Structure 1
Amino acid sequence: MSKARCHWPGEDPLYVAYHDTEWGVPEYDARALYEKLVLDGFQAGLSWITILRKRENFRQAFDHFEPEKIARYGKREITKLMGNAGIIRSEPKITAAIKGAQLWLEIQEKEPGGFPEFIWKHVDGRPQINRYKDGTKIPAKTEMSEKLAKELKQRGFNFCGPVIIYAFAQAIGMVNDHVVTCFRHAECAKLAEKSVFKSLEQKRAKLR
C-alpha cells in the first residue's frame, strides 16, 4: 500500500523524496539554514521543484554554500555565475546571496546563538506543530513569518518577503505543515519533541 502524503509532491520521484525525508525536519545547523534561505530566495517567482532540480548545480556553483567563501565573491565570481546555465541566472538574486553571506557572518560572529538563534527565536526555539486536515487551508504567510521577514529585511537581506519566509519556515521544520493524514506529520512531530535550539532552552531554564 502506498503511504498517505501531502498532495503537493505529486508523483515526481525527486519531489516525493524531498517531501519524505527533508521537508519539515527541524534544522539547526547554521550553514544549512543559510543554504535553505538562499535557495528559497532564488525560488521567488518560480516553483520549488525548479530549484530542487537545480540544487546540486547550485551547490557546486556556490562552493557548497559556505558563507565564508561566498562573502568574498566579487565581479569575477558574479560573471561566472551569470554564465552558469545550471542555476537561476539572476544577478539580483546572486548578489543577494553574497550579501546574505556577509550578513550571516556578522550575525554568526557577533550575536549569542549565532544565525540559528536569530532564526529560531521567532518560534522560541521549538517547532510549531500544526494540524491541518486540508492542504488548501495552510496559509501562505503568518504573523511569525511577517516578523521574521521584517527582521531579515532590516538587517539587509533581500528576497525574503513573508511568503518566501513562511516557505522557508516550513522547509526547516519551524512549523510542521504536513497535513494530519500524511505519514510525515507524525514523524516530524516526533522529531520536534526531541528538537530544541539549546541556547534558547538554556535561557528559558535560567528564567525558571
Structure 2
Amino acid sequence: MKTWQLGNHLLEFIEETHTYVCDGLIVPSVSTILKTKFNDYVGVSKEVLNRAAELGINLHLAIELFEKEGKTSDLKEFKNYLFLKKHYKIENLENEIPIIYEKDGKVIYAGTLDQLCKVDGRLCINDFKRVSAPNKEKIALQVNLYKIGYEQTYHKSIEILSFMHLRGEKRKFYKLPVNEEMAIKLVKEYLEEK
C-alpha cells in the first residue's frame, strides 16, 4: 500500500485492488469515472487483460526507474520513450504523482498521473499508453481529470496535456486539448449514476 499526505488529506492506494482510500473512505479513481462513458475491454478475456496490464506496469516501472535512478531497460517501448523524450525535448520533473479532487469539502476522485514534465518550457501532464489502439477522446478526458486534480492538489497551473503511444515499434507523441468542462461533466454523470 502506498500512502501520501496531500494537504489536509491522507490518501492511500491499495495496489492489488486498484483502490484509493482518502481519509478512511473509498473514493473512485479516474479510471473508474472513465468507465461511465467508455468500456474498451468488453469481450476481452481476463487472461489477455492481465498480460496487457503486466506489460504496461513493466513499461511504467522502467520509465520511473530511469527518471529516478538512471537505470535503463531493454524494453523496446522504453527505448522508444527515450527517443520521443529526446526528439520533443521533454524535461521530466516527476513520475507517478498522486492527485485528488474535492468539491464542497468532499473528495470526489483520486488518481496517479504518469509524468509531470516540461514541453517547450511549459508545465505538462503526460500519460503513457501501451494499448494497441489508443482512444484519444478517453485519454483526453483522463488527463483533463488529472489536470483538475493536480492543479487543486499542488496549486500549479498545467498548460499542456499529452500522451505517448508506446507499443512494440509504435512510438508517437500526441498533444491533447484542454477541456475541463467536458471532464467535470463526466464527473457529474458519474456522481448522478451512483
**TM-score between the two structures when normalised by the length of structure 2:** 0.28
Structure of greater relative contact order (alpha carbons < 8 Å, 6+ residues apart): 1
Structure ranking higher in strand proportion: 2
Structure ranking higher in helix proportion: 1
- Structure possessing the higher radius of gyration over alpha carbons: 1
